[in-house]
Structure 1
Amino acid sequence: GLCFANNKGEFEGVRVNRVEGNRIFPASRIEITPHTVLYRNFDFEFDKRLSRPSADRRIDVEITLYAVPGGYALYMKDECGNHTTIREDVPHETARTPQQETQKKQLGKLGTTAYSALKIDIDLPDNFFIPASVLSKLRQKAVESLDRVRRITYRTEKRQEEDKTVCYPQTELSYLGNVSNRLAEQFYREHGVTRIDPAFEIKPSRGVPLMFTRHCIRYMLGICKKTPAGSKFPDPLTLLYKGQKLQLHFDCTACEMTLQRME
């Protein structure tokens, strides 16, 4: 799915059938002017993955139903140890047929909640008949109460305080340290760095590499220095990019290529 602002300033969207290279084939005809900014607002594959059972995450809970004077109580405990108890007043009534399996099934209907019933115990002194509406009410109230308990007891992890006694492994930093503001400089000085060069974008250095990369143009062209064909092309090589000449150096031991601006 793509969306964009049309000529009237209205937000408009369209589904995409397929993409081939840099060509997009929309599902319906659209009026769009060149250079319009497109925004992606629907990812079919991502949405499909989220709809699979593997994307479903639930919190296991243990549920116990027991009798209290004048009614019933439902105890619910999650896997983190949070728990709650809900009571509902209703007369005790003996059933004519076994009720435990029906009661477990009713209490286990946690639907779209964040919980999944790991264990359900029916701890009643007799085979009581409890209306489905009462069991449903107990379950819903227990879920709401447990949600509140979890919010109250949840504690976010706090960032540990910085240990300023720890020394940085180096006492000097070149432009490669990328120190571009006073807070970064303050941090390094507090940890024992005595000489700090500013980042390249703050103070350009002459005759230094602009980029370090594992991508090797020699290897891509089939002229790796470790092969016979590579000996025909001695270092350094020159790359022309938008009128700018860049010198390429190759460190085969580290399997690394560096780009340096030619003065």
Structure 2
Amino acid sequence: MQLSKLELLAPARNKEIGIAAIDCGADSLYIAGPAFGAREAAGNSMHDIERLAAYGQKYGAKVFMVINTILYDKEIKEAERLARQAYEAGCAALIIQDLGLLKAEMPPVPLFASTQTNIRTVEQAKMLEDLGFSRLILARELSLEQIREIRANTSVELESFIHGALCVSYSGQCYMSERLTGRSANRGACAQACRSKYDLTDSKGKLLVRDKTLLSLKDLNLGEYIPQLAEAGISSFKIEGRLKNISYIKNVVRHYRSLLDSFIASDSRYTAASYGKLYGGFTPRPESTFNRGYTNLFINGRRGEWNSGDAAKSIGEFVGTVKSSVIDKRGGKTNIRYAAVMRVENGDGICFIGKGGEILGSRANVTEPGLIIINDKIELEQGVKIYRNFNHNFEKEMEKNMPKRVLGVTLDLMYDGEDITLEAVCEDGTSASVLANGPFDEAKNPEAAERSLRTQLEKSTDIYLFKVNSLGGGELPFMPISAINDLRRRVAAELDIIRENPHETKSLKLASAAEHAERSVMSGVVPEKLRGIFNGKKITYLGNVSNKLSEQLYLDLGAESADKAFEIDPPIEAELMRCKYCIKFELGMCPKEGYSKPVAEPLFLVNGQRKFRLAFDCKNCEMVIFG
């Protein structure tokens, strides 16, 4: 039976963070090149990406480069150039948003459809598969039932986010940042308008909610749903966070590696997508790293409390409540006595939620049981909750106590009475052998000689953990410990040479390209069965058509016409967001949940002088924001 590979896919802001993610168990990475990434502050040189791909190769860990923004006509050639460089650097795939690239001159590398392509329906998924995508990155808002339906109607790989920040709008369909600031989310420059504070008013101007982060969602955490997601057809489990720091990535990746390994160990149908096991190192604590509180969103097909409340920024883990606080006016310090749930240590970052919902933060300068002294003047009432958003000791632990990722290697030693041959087979299938020329002295104590061979051969060398499978060939000779260690190190070096052989790498790349060519629409020719699927429909700005290639693709698919992208020709009033999240549900005003009091609609979100109309598509259980 062929095992299904399950991939833990981690974000990498840069090469150093990518290496840390691999060291903590990531099977694959996604990273931006110099341009066209959906996080414009997370670009990298192609040289760094090549070095990262080479590092990942040691463990069979892949690197995917993102070109996941919409592109203007003048940028297509540059995108083609970066795509070719990514292929030559050893990237295993490209993650793209702009469908115009399907008609561009791209290298023979698999293309993954970004979550920015808004994959929420079977129809969208089937179209993208037929266009040649090798993997679909599904919308975060899907339920297990919806994922199963897409799996039943497609054959490509399916990827799902399992952890990290949530956009309130369907990905690729948010234009609020562009409207407010001229910074486009579809161009990697989102201003995060969903994390801002708003008033909520009704059609008569009555204030319903004042100055709250009404659009800010908690962070996603689907750790407990890994078995169900795998059963539903997900093969890649993605962590969000290409702007996150190295400690966040270490902690979260190590946590999900442990969860995935536990599941794989319990179900013989699955295996990891890369090689190597982790030994030792820090114990992950996802609650101690950046989060706005956690939600499983719509994965079980039910709504919950998705809003992050006052925590549009991370407040961290709850550690206790204030019993009293005294400000030392001479020294500018505040002495806080608290009822502790967890002990706060010197150097920890702590925060409190103020009366107006603002987050007040400080650093614990001196701590004793039940006492925190900070170097700031902050007035705190009794009962105020204290949170720790920076755990000083845990950060040091992650820095100094990293796990070691090693590859399992089996050894067979043969002695023919003259020479010794040591054969090694790595868990990735690579084999190597070395010869030790005799003659060797006869062992006066054969049992001790065999024990010495096993003990020394089964030590680790670099990234290899050796296990003796057999010691054959009759009575074993005596070998000095130094000679046995040299034999083990030589076979490790031989494995390195074979596994890093550029000819092998090239062959794998060519094989991947050949496989991809079977599915690809690289020629720019739309498959016959897709022609006319839009049946004369007009593609609005929601199609994100920002160049001639994407426009022609839609025309080839049967569209009558295609409007220009919002970033090029914004409508006077437009649908700025469509969301599974609903403010009326969050506020207990949902008619489906039994709320029957009259509401003067439409409702409005107000931020300063800007006013946004809300509409509620109750049939599809969606909220729409216009402006």
TM surpasses 0.5: yes
Q: Show structure 1 runs of 5+ residues with no match.
A: 3-14, 31-39
**How big is each residue's C-alpha offset from its partner over 1:222-259, in whole Å with a ceiling of 9 and x where there is no partner?**
22233564541043112222211211111122111111
For the pair 1:17 / 2:367, whether they are aligned, the reply is no
Q: Show structure 2 runs of 5+ residues with no match.
A: 1-244, 247-345, 352-358, 367-373, 376-389
Query: Aligned pair in 2 of structure 1 residues 22, 141: CA closer, same or farther (>3 Å)?
Result: farther
| 3-state secondary structure, aligned to 2:500 | helix
Query: Aligned pair in 2 of structure 1 residues 209, 110: CA closer, same or farther (>3 Å)?
Result: same
State the partner residue of 2:454: 104
Query: Aligned pair in 2 of structure 1 residues 201, 222: CA closer, same or farther (>3 Å)?
Result: same
Mapped contact 2:454–2:468 kept (Cα < 8 A): no
**How big is each residue's C-alpha offset from its partner over 1:76-113, in whole Å with a ceiling of 9 and x where there is no partner?**
112333211111224221111112122011111114x3
Mapped contact 2:573–2:626 kept (Cα < 8 A): yes
Which of 504, 516, 538 is the aligned partner of 1:160?
A: 516
Mapped contact 1:16–1:24 kept (Cα < 8 A): no
Comparing 195-204 with 162-171, greater Cα deviation is found at: 162-171
For the pair 1:170 / 2:534, whether they are aligned, the reply is yes
CA positional deviation for 1:260 = 0.9
Counterpart mapping for 1:123-202 below 5 A: 123-152=472-501, 153-154=504-505, 155-156=508-509, 157-158=512-513, 160-161=516-517, 162-163=520-521, 164-166=525-527, 167=530, 169-171=533-535, 172=537, 173-202=539-568
Q: Distance in 2 between matches of 1:44 and 1:181?
A: 48
Q: Distance in 2 between matches of 1:208 and 1:256?
A: 16
Letter matched to residue 614 of structure 2 = L
CA positional deviation for 1:204 = 1.0
Q: Distance in 1 between matches of 2:362 and 2:585?
A: 33
Query: Aligned pair in 2 of structure 1 residues 187, 244: CA closer, same or farther (>3 Å)?
Result: same
Mapped contact 1:16–1:26 kept (Cα < 8 A): yes
| 3-state secondary structure, aligned to 1:84 | strand
Q: Distance in 2 between matches of 1:242 and 1:188?
A: 39
TM-score, scaled relative to structure 2: 0.34
CA positional deviation for 1:184 = 2.9
Query: Aligned pair in 2 of structure 1 residues 67, 186: CA closer, same or farther (>3 Å)?
Result: farther
Which of 405, 410, 422 is the aligned partner of 1:74?
A: 422
**How big is each residue's C-alpha offset from its partner over 1:156-215, in whole Å with a ceiling of 9 and x where there is no partner?**
444824233432743542111112233433443454444211111211123431111122
CA positional deviation for 1:63 = 0.6
CA positional deviation for 1:136 = 0.7
CA positional deviation for 1:48 = 4.0
Query: Aligned pair in 2 of structure 1 residues 117, 177: CA closer, same or farther (>3 Å)?
Result: same
Q: Distance in 2 between matches of 1:226 and 1:70?
A: 84
Q: Distance in 1 between matches of 2:397 and 2:608?
A: 40
Query: Aligned pair in 2 of structure 1 residues 228, 104: CA closer, same or farther (>3 Å)?
Result: closer
Mapped contact 1:235–1:250 kept (Cα < 8 A): no
State the partner residue of 1:121: 470
Query: Aligned pair in 2 of structure 1 residues 44, 202: CA closer, same or farther (>3 Å)?
Result: farther
Mapped contact 1:104–1:120 kept (Cα < 8 A): no
Q: Distance in 1 between matches of 2:597 and 2:472?
A: 84
State the partner residue of 2:575: 209
Q: How many residues align?
A: 236
Q: Distance in 2 between matches of 1:27 and 1:180?
A: 53
Comparing 187-196 with 174-183, greater Cα deviation is found at: 187-196
Query: Aligned pair in 2 of structure 1 residues 129, 191: CA closer, same or farther (>3 Å)?
Result: farther
State the partner residue of 1:63: 411
Query: Aligned pair in 2 of structure 1 residues 212, 133: CA closer, same or farther (>3 Å)?
Result: same
State the partner residue of 2:308: none
Q: Distance in 2 between matches of 1:92 and 1:140?
A: 19
Comparing 62-71 with 231-240, greater Cα deviation is found at: 62-71
Letter matched to residue 89 of structure 1 = N
CA positional deviation for 1:64 = 1.3
CA positional deviation for 1:59 = 2.5
Larger Rg: 1
Q: Distance in 1 between matches of 2:564 and 2:397?
A: 45
CA positional deviation for 1:72 = 1.9
| 3-state secondary structure, aligned to 1:226 | helix
Query: Aligned pair in 2 of structure 1 residues 225, 207: CA closer, same or farther (>3 Å)?
Result: farther
**How big is each residue's C-alpha offset from its partner over 1:114-168, in whole Å with a ceiling of 9 and x where there is no partner?**
2233443111322310111111111101001111111223424448242334327
Comparing 198-207 with 98-107, greater Cα deviation is found at: 198-207
State the partner residue of 1:94: 442
Comparing 136-145 with 162-171, greater Cα deviation is found at: 162-171
Q: Distance in 1 between matches of 2:567 and 2:395?
A: 39
Comparing 83-92 with 164-173, greater Cα deviation is found at: 164-173
Comparing 250-259 with 193-202, greater Cα deviation is found at: 193-202
Query: What is the root-mean-square deviation in Å for CA atoms of aligned residues?
Result: 3.5
Q: Distance in 1 between matches of 2:548 and 2:364?
A: 49
Q: Distance in 2 between matches of 1:131 and 1:24?
A: 60
State the partner residue of 1:12: none
Query: Aligned pair in 2 of structure 1 residues 46, 179: CA closer, same or farther (>3 Å)?
Result: farther
| 3-state secondary structure, aligned to 1:160 | helix
Q: Distance in 2 between matches of 1:146 and 1:56?
A: 19
Query: Aligned pair in 2 of structure 1 residues 230, 202: CA closer, same or farther (>3 Å)?
Result: farther
| 3-state secondary structure, aligned to 2:591 | coil
Comparing 210-219 with 170-179, greater Cα deviation is found at: 170-179
